Amino acid sequence: MNHPAPLYLQIQQFLRLAIEQGRFRAGDKLPSEPELAERFGTTRATVARALQQLVFEGLIARRAGSGTFVGNPRIDDRVDTNLLESFEDHMIAAGESLHYELLAFESEPATPELSLALGLQAATIWRLERLRFVGGRKVALEVRHLPESLARGIDVRWLEQRSVQQVLREGLGLQIGRMENAVSASVASAEQARILGAAKGAALLVREHTIFDTKGRALLHGRTYYAGKFSVRYTLGPTADGPRPAARAESAAAVQPWAA
């Protein structure tokens, strides 16, 4: 004899299916707790229990005084340490549209930290700041620094259309030898929150990276701040088909644990 699922699970399944089928889309307001309680003949406490799990999963979001809304879909990226691929490569391969808004491209005094990261003794370096959009949605703030000798050769129009790897490879004709990456967590400052359209203090995933040429010279150092639901998947070791060709196995990724 089959017993019906508990009501809180039925409510979860109803909402999951409605979102999956497109009856509720990202940003849409969902039925209120009283409406769901009446529909399923149960109490608001049971509805609240059902919604709590969906909030935890990021499928929905609750806003005080406004109600419950469908959350934005999570964006996944992966890092294969055998390949020199960019976030943009992965998004395009997944069929996503991608573009940038250029916020700044200018010279500024070199700090000791940036001088060390880029292996420079110059008094000034160049800062590149862009807002990255995927499918028309803000997903990341890019803050990169590079030597003045490279910045002077960049056409500003490239920065509205190309990834930094494309700028270095196709625009400047440079060969990328390896990339070093570190992933950590942070919270949004007031300025970062304003740019990303997030709340001040919202959780951010931060990917710090340095790109080197084949001779070990640092070409670019920076951080990318991801807002909303975003994950990075790392592939370590050879694939099921065996090791990658040696010529394409020069990238390195250092993964740091989440900050406390």
Q: What is the pLDDT along the chain (260 residues), one digit of tens a residue?
A: 456 788 888 999 899 888 888 888 888 899 999 999 999 999 999 998 888 888 877 788 888 778 888 877 655 545 544 444 445 555 544 556 678 999 999 999 999 889 999 998 888 999 999 999 887 888 899 999 999 999 999 999 999 888 898 999 999 999 999 888 888 888 999 999 999 988 888 888 898 999 999 999 999 999 999 887 665 565 555 545 554 443 333 322 333 222 22
Maximum Cα interatomic distance, the chain, rounded to a whole number of Å: 78
Q: Which pLDDT belongs to residue 87?
A: 52
Q: Which pLDDT belongs to residue 74?
A: 58
User: Taking Cα atoms as reference points, which of 143, 136, 144 lies closest to residue 98?
Assistant: 136
Q: Which pLDDT belongs to residue 128?
A: 96
User: Taking Cα atoms as reference points, which of 179, 177, 127, 178 lies closest to residue 148?
Assistant: 127
Half-sphere exposure (Cβ direction) of 178: Cα atoms closer than 13 Å = 14
Tell me the CA distances in angstroms from 45 to 7, 11, 12, 18, one per residue in order. 11, 12, 14, 21
How far is the C-alpha of 84 from the C-alpha of 197, rounded, in Å?
A: 30
Distance of CA 140 to the CA centre of its chain: 6
How far is the C-alpha of 207 from the C-alpha of 192, rounded, in Å?
A: 15
First CA to last CA distance, the chain: 49
**171, burial (CB in 10 Å: exposed 0-12, middle 13-18, buried 19+):** middle
How far is the C-alpha of 253 from the C-alpha of 232, rounded, in Å?
A: 12
The alpha-carbon radius of gyration of the chain (Å, integer) is 22
- In contact, 145 and 128? CB cutoff 8 Å: yes
Q: Which pLDDT belongs to residue 253?
A: 30
Structural domains in the chain plus CATH codes = 7-70 (1.10.10.10), 75-248 (3.40.1410.10)
